[in-house]
Amino acid sequence: MISFENITKKFGSSIVALDDVSLEIAPGEFVFLVGPSGAGKSTLLRLLTREYLPTSGKILVGKVDITKLKSDDIPAHRRKIGFIFQDFKLLEERTVFENVALALQVRGKSDPEILKEVEHTLKLVEIWDRRNLFPRQLSGGEAQRVAIARAIIGKPDIVLADEPTGDLDPTTAWGVIQLLNEVNSWGTTVLMATHNQEIVNTLKRRVVILKKGKITKDSREGTYE
């Protein structure tokens, strides 16, 4: 269970990114965060990864209030979360294989374990044949598949996706969504910030609408408004 309790996040004294937001997400849910740019979607995700601390309020992941985590405990918390970005954030000097392997290296896995798991995951996202290429040699769709592979390889409890289809053509975007749908079917909670109306309306999952830092609507099997 993820629980945001009366979260307010201010940048400086005048910019209010989130204003008294409360939200509960059950394990295994697929939730779309929608809303215009600057509504607070990315801030909400970054609060969950502890990149930001809220100005006030509590964030519970399971029974742990992550706003009170000590800095030494943050890495362990982040290992429970897979993160997918619009701009992929792949490391340019590492191959596809090395980019995905990094997620396991930081977890202290051995080389044979890494080899086995990376092979399995890259085959799952259908990019195994591109394993020795560098990110600049990939198409946008392929790069996002690598990013998804990196996000899911450690079998995280939660996957956060910040505009993962923003830079992709519709066909490629659907491929990415199908992958996230599959990840969700394993019981992984997926929280996805998006502007893609078609995807939100077609998938009919829970939709949380944010506007000017406030939740204006939260509906099961919702649509993009």
- Count of C-beta atoms within a 10 Å radius of residue 47: 23
Q: Give me the helix-helix angle, 140-152 and 111-124, nearest 10°.
A: 130
Which one, 111 or 129, has the nearer CB to another protein? 111
Q: Token pair of 97, please? A: 């294989």
- Taking the complex as a whole, the smallest distance from the CB of residue 75 to another protein amounts, in Å, to 5
Question: Which amino acid type is present at position 50?
Answer: R
Alpha helices, DSSP H, located in the chain? 41-48, 74-78, 96-105, 111-124, 140-152, 170-185, 197-203
Which one, 89 or 211, has the nearer CB to another protein? 89
Residues 189, 193, 199, 205: is their CA dihedral positive or negative? positive
Positions touching another protein (CB under 8 A) are: 49, 51, 71-72, 75-79, 81, 83, 89, 91, 93, 102-103, 105-108, 150, 154
- Taking the complex as a whole, the smallest distance from the CB of residue 91 to another protein amounts, in Å, to 5
- Taking the complex as a whole, the smallest distance from the CB of residue 76 to another protein amounts, in Å, to 7
Which one, 78 or 130, has the nearer CB to another protein? 78
What order do you get walking across the sheet with 158-162 strand by strand?
A: 81-85, 158-162, 189-194, 30-34, 206-211, 214-219
- Taking the complex as a whole, the smallest distance from the CB of residue 33 to another protein amounts, in Å, to 18
Q: Token pair of 131, please? A: 């394993």
Which one, 190 or 215, has the nearer CB to another protein? 190
Which one, 154 or 222, has the nearer CB to another protein? 154
Which one, 79 or 214, has the nearer CB to another protein? 79
- Taking the complex as a whole, the smallest distance from the CB of residue 134 to another protein amounts, in Å, to 13
Query: Closest by alpha carbon to 48, among 162, 196, 148, 177?
Result: 162
- Taking the complex as a whole, the smallest distance from the CB of residue 79 to another protein amounts, in Å, to 3
* Residue partners of 169: CB distance under 8 A and separation at least 6: 140, 141
